[in-house]
Amino acid sequence: CSDIDECSEGTSGCNQLCSNTLGSYTCSCHNGYELDTDNHTCIDIDECLTNNGGCEHTCVNTNGNYYCLCNYSYVLNHDRHQCDDVNECANGNNACNHICINTIGSYYCDCNSGYHLISNQRYCIDTNECSTNNGGCQQHCHNTVGSYYCSCWSGYYWDTTTNRCEDRNECSSSYSNRCYQNCHNTEGSYYCSCRTGFRLSYGYRCYDINECASNNGGCEQHCKNTDGSYYCECNVTDGYALDGDNHGCSRNCSTDPLVCQQVCHSQNDLLNCSCYPGYRLSDDGRTCEKIYFCSENTTNCNQICTNMNNSFICSCNDGYELQNDNATCQGNAYTL
């Protein structure tokens, strides 16, 4: 008798591979399969059940084989088992607006200085630094796209020594203030004033006060306005002179010697003239004219009248004698 080759006759019943032996045969399977307990049927090996099939992340069993899968953001290594991180940032089309930072298994976005991420964590918008603590600025804070800057209020300047906004002394130079006359510096500003005799206008101009426009400047007679002051004048032609208070006017004999030619009497600005003996006041009330008694028919000299300094005397012709009345002449019979 001779051996029957069950494998070539198709009578072995082996599911996959058949090996003839002397007087018998054995079944075997392809890789990825194993013989079932009947020693004829081949069933799939679930490689994932052992050490996850060697897969780093996920093992997927298939009929006769298996394969590995990687989590999101990983790619399968060439060894088909390990998972390598994907560097999303290496792609120029990454989703980050400014800066992409790769991490193992993921990535995140960041922004350039002066910007911050919006809620989608990808796009960057300007940070308004001024909205927080005034940007750290002492006075003005100005937000700009991607940055910000500080400045000082009007009336202040940036002092590079103190690194602070310091008050500008507008009064230190006539070019830095508008004051016509006096300038007063204040913190953050300044104000103007005027000298006595001037009034402030528009906060910086100084105009002369016309003191004469009000109550004649207090002057009794004439008021003369000047730039920054005024003065009083009196009617000098009428003999008035300024009083010691520089406002009142009064006259007396010493203020106008022209009033009276000879003798002056004054009382309450009234001047009265009189004349020396032998003179009389003229009709003008101030000049004096000499009295020639003998030619005025006011004397009663009988014969000869002689003017004296401030009087007259009578005398008689030869052969006459002045009588006791000092006027009448009577013939002297005894001398004839």
Residue with Cβ nearer Ca ion (52 or 185) = 185
Residue 27, Cβ density class (10 Å: 0-12 exposed, 13-18 middle, ≥19 buried): buried
Q: How far is the CB of 154 from Ca ion (least distance, A)?
A: 10
Selection from 320, 321, 319, 295 nearest residue 307 by Cα: 295
Coil, helix or strand for 238? helix
Write down the least CB distance from residue 104 to Ca ion, Å: 30
Segment near Ca ion (CB under 5 A); pick from 71-79, 148-156, 239-247, 277-285: 148-156
Please identify which residue in 20, 58, 182, 225 interacts with Ca ion, judged by CB under 5 A. Answer: 225
Nearer to Ca ion, 32 or 278 (CB): 32
Give the number of other Cβ atoms within 10 Å of residue 260's Cβ: 22
Q: Using alpha carbons, select from 96, 141, 143 the residue that is nearest to residue 120.
A: 96
166 belongs to the binding site for Ca ion (CB under 5 A): no
With contact defined as beta carbons under 8 Å apart, do 261 and 286 qualify?
A: yes
| Number of amino acids touching Ca ion (CB under 5 A) | 12
Considering only the stretches 76-84, 137-145, 311-319, 325-333, report the one whose residues sit in contact with Ca ion under the rule CB under 5 A: 137-145
CB of 291 closer than 8 Å to CB of 323? no
Query: Pick from 288, 290, 252: which is nearest to 268 by CA?
Result: 252
Does 156 contact Ca ion by CB under 5 A? Answer: no
55 vs 271 by CB, closer to Ca ion? 55
Min separation Cβ 109 and Ca ion, Å: 19
Residues 51-80 that bind Ca ion (CB under 5 A): 61, 66
Shortest distance, CB of residue 156 to Ca ion, whole angstroms? 8
Give the range of 2-10, 34-42, 126-134, 280-288 binding Ca ion by CB under 5 A: 126-134
The neighbour count for residue 9, using CB atoms within 10 Å, is 10
Per CB under 5 A, 143 contacts Ca ion: yes
Binding of residue 16 to Ca ion (CB under 5 A):
no
The enclosing H or E element of 7 equals helix 6-9
* Binder of Ca ion out of 102, 185, 193, 250 (CB under 5 A): 185
- The reply to whether 233 sits near Ca ion by the rule CB under 5 A is no
User: Strand locations in 77-139, DSSP E?
Assistant: 83-85, 99-103, 106-110, 115-117, 124-126
The angle formed by the CA atoms of residues 189, 190 and 195, to the nearest 5 degrees, is 175
Closest contact distance (angstroms) between CB of 53 and Ca ion is 9
Contact between 208 and Ca ion per CB under 5 A = yes
Q: What CA–CA distances, in Å, run from 84 to 71, 103, 107, 121, 283?
A: 10, 12, 14, 25, 141
Locate 195 and state its tokens: 């000298």
> Least distance to Ca ion from the beta carbon of 230, Å?
5
Structure tokens at 176: 């830095």
198 lines the binding site for Ca ion (CB under 5 A): no
Q: How many whole angstroms separate alpha carbon 229 and alpha carbon 212?
A: 10
Footprint of Ca ion on 235-264 (CB under 5 A): none
Question: What φ, ψ does residue 11 adopt, rounded to 5°?
Answer: -110, 5
Query: Under the criterion CB under 5 A, does residue 44 sit at the interface with Ca ion?
Result: yes
* AA letter at 286: R
Contact stretch for Ca ion (CB under 5 A) within 76-84, 136-144, 172-180, 317-325: 136-144
- Residue 65 or 87 with smaller CB distance to Ca ion: 65
Binding region for Ca ion (CB under 5 A): 44, 61, 66, 126, 143, 148, 167, 185, 190, 208, 225, 230
